[in-house]
Structure 1
Amino acid sequence: MDNVLSYLTFNTRKFHEMSMRSRVLLSQAPLSITTALLAVGSIFLHPVVWASAAFQWGMILSGVLLVLCAVIPWDRLPYGMFLIIPVLDFVPIALLRFGSGTEVLGIGLMAVFPVLWLSASGLYPRLCLSLSLIGPFAMIWAPLFATDAGVSVSDLTQSALTPTIIFGIAVTIRVMTASMMDQQKAMQEKDHALQQILQRSAQRERLLNATVNTVDVGLLAIDQDGHDILFNRRQREVHRIGLPEGVEDAAEQDLLLFRPDGVTPIPADERPAHRAVAGETFSDYLIRIGVGENQRVLSASARVMLDEGGKREGAVVAFNDVTELVNALNAKEEFVAMVSHELRTPLTVIVGYLEMMLDEEPPKEIVTGLGVIGRNVTRLRRLVDDLLTAASGPPEVSPVDADLAEIAQESVGAIAARGKEAGVDVINDVPAGTITRCDPARIGQVLDNLLSNAVKYSPAGGTVTVRAQKMPGSVICEVEDSGMGMSAEDSAEVFSKFFRTSAVREAAIPGVGLGLAIVRSIVEEHGGKIHCRSELGRGTTFTFELPDEPGGNDSEASRSTSDVSR
């Protein structure tokens, strides 16, 4: 109905957007226009009807109702008061029909206009349907009772078809209006829900933007084609550092990105964003960006974004500036190396003088003291050697084919005396002929450290066993003890430099926590892996694997990491 009435304004304005007075006037317009056409047509074609006072009064009342529609301030009255107009419309229609008699037929059908108005209003449905039934019948029957005292049933039924049809139209319009109103209500509810969703979405977007621009980590979100989706404040700053001189913006492939040494450019296919677009997931990928004093060290991590169907739709790359951390690590390594180097010289002198004093066969009471000094100097020298080894970066290895059983036998023989003093049995269970490709001296150093720790942390009566097994493409070696063991948290950190478990610190067992870090460095330089399995009170097992072809990605990654910390 709104669309039909909007046609009267040539669709220049929507009906529901107009003022109440305009809407009432437009709702009355179809009947008023039809009445005006009837008046003009009657003057030229049926002038005789104008002789009827009823016809004249019908025209006058129709005009009066149109004027009332225009002058009454409907928006100030209670909503729904305008329905009085279509109810009153039945009066002029009845007068026009009665006044025209048989000269102009079909005037009674004009009652469709007020019926449509009542039925389509959506207000007071039962009352409007009742008026849509009573109005047309009253329009026809009221003149009969007013002019003819002997009205028969036949007179009433002869003219009942028109109001019946009009009432059917009213019911149809009411049903359609009710359905449209239900649909409109549902649409309004959906629109309201959609507005709420949009508001929440906008709020979350504002929260996301505020969050990503607050964190001090560069965030880059890219789609599956490599186009930027999100670029936070910190990432823009990082991006500017990598721009070549005189360039305002550039793609990742043109940025000044270098390997951890700060000199070697990173190929385009190894750069973080390119790897992320290719679907790679990585963490702590160390790179350098920029040149000169402005060069920064970044730790890049990437995660793939998946859509609802589990398909890749992009990736998020995070760039964390770790320049200060790397500088601090460099300063620490330099300090440790310097102090260790300075300590080695006086220790060498002390050892030399001890040997000279022992060669002169001093008194027995002095020999005992010199022995104590010698043992502590040896222990101190071992610690200094560990510090220098840790500070010097990854050890160099020279792999050859070697029998792991012989290497293990040498290490077990070297620790056997110490194990006997501590009441710990050291067993070599490595089968003879277990050939592996390795640096015998370095792997011997690994076994020395592992066996030394195993004996140190095992109680009297305990057992330490070294065993190995040849596997396709590698050799797996284990060093197992029945000592105090470690918690899962300590096991995860045991290969970190200077790390010592709380139980070891409480037991005041000597050491600085460098042995296992050195062990891991040696194993990784061979291209192998090492891990720890331990349980409190039940012992610890260290397992390392040596591939038949030393070197590889793990060794390269370890070397790159050390290059950064130098």
Structure 2
Amino acid sequence: MNRVSFRRTISTTTRGRGQQMDRVLSHLTLNTRQFHELTLRSRVILSQLPLSLTVLLILVGGLLFHPDLFASRSFMIGLWMQAALFALCLLVPWDRLPYVSFLVIPLLDFIPIGFMRYGAGTVITGVGLLAVFPIIWLAASGLYPRALLAAGFLASLAIVWVPVFVTDIEVTSQSLTQSFLLPFIMLAIGVTIRVMTSSMMAQQAEVEEKDRALRLLLEESARRERLLDTVVNSVDIGVTAVDEAGRTVLANRKLEQFRALAGGTRDTDEAALRIFQQDGETALPVTRRPTRRAAEGHVFSDYLLWWGERPGQRVLSTSSRLMTNQAGEREGSVVTFNDVTELVTALNAKDEFVATVSHELRTPLTAIRGYLELLLGTPDLDPEVASGLEVVSRNSERLHKLVVDLLSTAEGAPEIEPVPTDFSDLVGLRVASARQGNTNPLVRFEDLTDPGLVALCDASRIGQVLDNLLSNAIKYSPAGGSVTIRAREVGAEVECSVSDQGSGMSAEEQKGVFSKFFRTAGARNAAIPGVGLGLAISQAIVQRHGGSITCRSVMGEGSTFAFRLPIARADQVQELQTQGL
């Protein structure tokens, strides 16, 4: 290994260990810089400085109180050697030498300490304790712990024993053990410092490892934040995120464009934006605005709003989803804004076209049905003519129902007048009508309606729902089976279900069963008549009543359609009974 590589290796392994000692010595720089941030020369000087200052203190004390001390040649040699070592710390370019080269200073410190101890004699006691400074330096360096502890012990022992052997003092057991405690004290101090340093270095290593992990996490978090920012600003929909208090924590550029359309900026409160209801003129109440609803914890989809004023008004479809933390608690919501102006325009154009065509068909169809009634009422008709007229009548009725459905769809939300209604009686009437008009002799009807049910509904509209469900149950049961009607009270609602044993639907088909003009593949293949409007109309009617309608189906086993309506209050039921009397 060359000198540079050796230096880098030692520097890498020991620089972290020396950081604990840095904390102790940083105060020597008046905390203007951390000790480990200094050059190696500065660190060597500061590490030697405590011993040099202590020697200087001894020198001043000797001059003031013990001038005879300077008559000792050994003491003076120790002083000059100590000064030379400090000068060496100042002059040597330690940064250019191998990192471990600085250890020569604490090792050489034992020599002047030995001279000073011997020279001080009994004039100044305790000079040998100066060995604690190089001992601490060696133990805290973190380098070669066993070797340096042994070197410190032997150097301290040499301070005590060398004068015994090189002078005229008689070598006895008493002279050898007189100050034998000093090297063991130095060893104990060195071991203690070493143990503390090792513990601190282990803690430092753990802290540094956590610091590295934290930096990696911060870098990964920053990378994900940049990715999120890029994604949300690349999509063609407005996106905003709000916390549980309703404060905006994220908003993309597309949303800023929508806000500008509504007369606001990024920082404009949503309540000040020009947002309108379906007519494009009535301002949307603040409590029904999307971000406000999302902040309150509402979840919604395809919530249509009209942004801005005409002629530049746009229709936005808004949706909201909750954000939860790891504990599953709500910590905000994400709201999306999608421009569906063209789609809404196309749907309106389609509805206008359907309404126009339906009106145009209705006029001649009314004339056809009227003349058919006159012809069928003519006596002594030829049987073949009568049979033909019956076929024409049935098809005209079918065409009339189709026109009525198309008009209902084009007119939008149906108008209803809910009143307390004897729901059990209504179901019975519609089942009887279905039995009478049933053209499939293989289908049986089973009415399991509980008596005495009173719902708050529009009888004619709910009758239309029942007719649609019963008609579908018959049409989609070509192989026969039973059609079961159940009605019962469930909580504060009346639940009615119509079940058949027909062909059923797949899970994917069930998702679109209430869509306009939706028909299953089985219905198309079997040429079952219909255009797919009955269930859409039924859903609109039930929802206008404040109720709900659902579908459960299994392929090859049949389907069950169930809807719920509000139950009438007791006073309303009493009023209905009174009217019945």
Please classify the TM superposition score into its range, dividing by the shorter chain length.
Answer: 0.7 to 0.9
Helix, strand or coil at the partner of 1:60: helix
Helix, strand or coil at the partner of 1:386: helix
Q: 1:554 maps to which residue?
A: none
Q: Which moved more, 1:283-292 or 1:407-416?
A: 407-416
Aligned residues: 548
Q: Report 1:137-536 matches (<5 A).
A: 137-148=157-168, 150-243=170-263, 250-307=268-325, 312-348=330-366, 351=369, 372-404=391-423, 407-408=426-427, 410-416=429-435, 418-426=437-445, 430=449, 435-469=454-488, 473-536=492-555
User: 1:18 Cα shift?
Assistant: 0.8
Letter of the 2:483 partner, please give it.
Answer: V
- Give the 3 Å change call, closer, same or farther, for CA 406–118 of structure 1 in structure 2: closer
Letter of the 1:295 partner, please give it.
Answer: Q
Q: 2:6 maps to which residue?
A: none
Q: Deviations over 1:299-323 (max 9, x none)?
A: 3333444455655443333333332
- Aligned-pair Cα RMSD in Å: 3.1
Letter of the 2:50 partner, please give it.
Answer: P
Q: 2:575 maps to which residue?
A: none
Residue of 537, 542, 551 corresponding to 2:561: 542
Contact 2:440–2:478 (Cα < 8 Å) also in 1: no
Q: 2:111 maps to which residue?
A: 91
Letter of the 1:108 partner, please give it.
Answer: G
Q: 1:108 maps to which residue?
A: 128
Q: Deviations over 1:413-451 (max 9, x none)?
A: 544455345543345555776554443332332222222
Q: 2:27 maps to which residue?
A: 7
The whole-number CA distance in structure 2 between the counterparts of 1:340 and 1:47 is: 128
Q: 1:17 maps to which residue?
A: 37
Letter of the 2:345 partner, please give it.
Answer: N
The whole-number CA distance in structure 2 between the counterparts of 1:139 and 1:471 is: 101
Q: Deviations over 1:192-213 (max 9, x none)?
A: 2222222222222222222322
User: 1:542 Cα shift?
Assistant: 2.3
Helix, strand or coil at the partner of 1:293: coil
Letter of the 1:315 partner, please give it.
Answer: S
User: 1:133 Cα shift?
Assistant: 1.0
The whole-number CA distance in structure 2 between the counterparts of 1:325 and 1:292 is: 17
Helix, strand or coil at the partner of 1:280: coil
- Give the 3 Å change call, closer, same or farther, for CA 546–136 of structure 1 in structure 2: closer
User: 1:517 Cα shift?
Assistant: 1.2
**TM-score, normalized by length of structure 2?**
0.84
- Give the 3 Å change call, closer, same or farther, for CA 196–474 of structure 1 in structure 2: closer
Contact 1:226–1:274 (Cα < 8 Å) also in 2: yes
Letter of the 1:336 partner, please give it.
Answer: V
Q: Which moved more, 1:369-378 or 1:123-132?
A: 369-378
Does 2:74 match 1:54?
yes
**TM-score, normalized by length of structure 1?**
0.86
Contact 2:454–2:567 (Cα < 8 Å) also in 1: no
Q: 1:564 maps to which residue?
A: none
The whole-number CA distance in structure 2 between the counterparts of 1:5 and 1:17 is: 12
Contact 1:405–1:432 (Cα < 8 Å) also in 2: yes
Letter of the 1:507 partner, please give it.
Answer: A
Helix, strand or coil at the partner of 1:181: helix
Letter of the 1:518 partner, please give it.
Answer: I
Q: Deviations over 1:180-231 (max 9, x none)?
A: 2222222212222222222222222222222322333323322333322222
Letter of the 1:486 partner, please give it.
Answer: M
Letter of the 2:314 partner, please give it.
Answer: R
Contact 1:412–1:427 (Cα < 8 Å) also in 2: no
User: 1:291 Cα shift?
Assistant: 1.4
Contact 1:422–1:460 (Cα < 8 Å) also in 2: no
Give the percent of matched residue pairs that are identical in Structure 1 and Structure 2: 52
Letter of the 1:281 partner, please give it.
Answer: V
Contact 1:243–1:249 (Cα < 8 Å) also in 2: no
The whole-number CA distance in structure 1 between the counterparts of 2:521 and 2:483 is: 22
